[in-house]
Amino acid sequence: MIIRIVQMEFEEELIPDFLNIFAASRKRIRSFPGCTHLQLLQGEADPCVFFTYSHWQGEEDLDSYRNSDLFRGVWRNTRKLFRAAPKAWSLTDQTEVKTQGL
C-alpha cells in the first residue's frame, strides 16, 4: 500500500474555489481503481494550508491516477490557486514491521 500526502497552500480568498473543486471530484477520485482512502485536511496554525491524504493499493495505481484525464483536469484547475509550490510524499506504512533484536 502507498500512502500519498500532498501539501497545498492557497491564497485565502481562493480557498472556496479549491473546496468546490475538491467537492466536485472527491467521489471520482475515491472510486478510481486502486484508491482505498481519500481525506482532506486543513492546517490548524495556517488555514490556507491543506493536505490530501490518500491510500493506494500500489504504486501502479497511483501512477495510473496521476496519468489520468481526471487528475489532469483537477490539477489544472487547482494549481492556479496556489500561493506556494505544492509538496508531495509517497510513503509506506512501517508500523507493523518487525525488526531483529527488538
Question: What digits encode the pLDDT tens for the residues 34-73?
Answer: 999 999 999 999 999 999 999 999 999 999 999 999 999 9
Topology given in CATH for the domain delimited by 2-48+57-91:
Alpha-Beta Plaits (3.30.70)
pLDDT score for 74? 96
Instruction: Return d(Cα 73, Cα 95) in angstroms, integer.
Output: 35
Smallest Cα–Cα separation from 33: which of 5, 67, 7? 67
What are the extents of the domains in the chain? 2-48+57-91
CB 82 within 8 A of CB 2: no
pLDDT score for 95? 84
Instruction: Return d(Cα 31, Cα 16) in angstroms, integer.
Output: 24
94 or 25: which carries more pLDDT confidence? 25
Buried b (16+ CB within 10 A) or exposed e, 14-34: eeeebeebbeebeeebeebeb
Please give the mean pLDDT across all residues of the chain.
Answer: 94
Per-residue pLDDT band at 100 (split at 50, 70, 90): low
pLDDT score for 88? 97
**pTM, two decimal places:** 0.89
Instruction: Return d(Cα 48, Cα 64) in angstroms, integer.
Output: 29
pLDDT score for 38? 98
Per-residue pLDDT band at 98 (split at 50, 70, 90): low
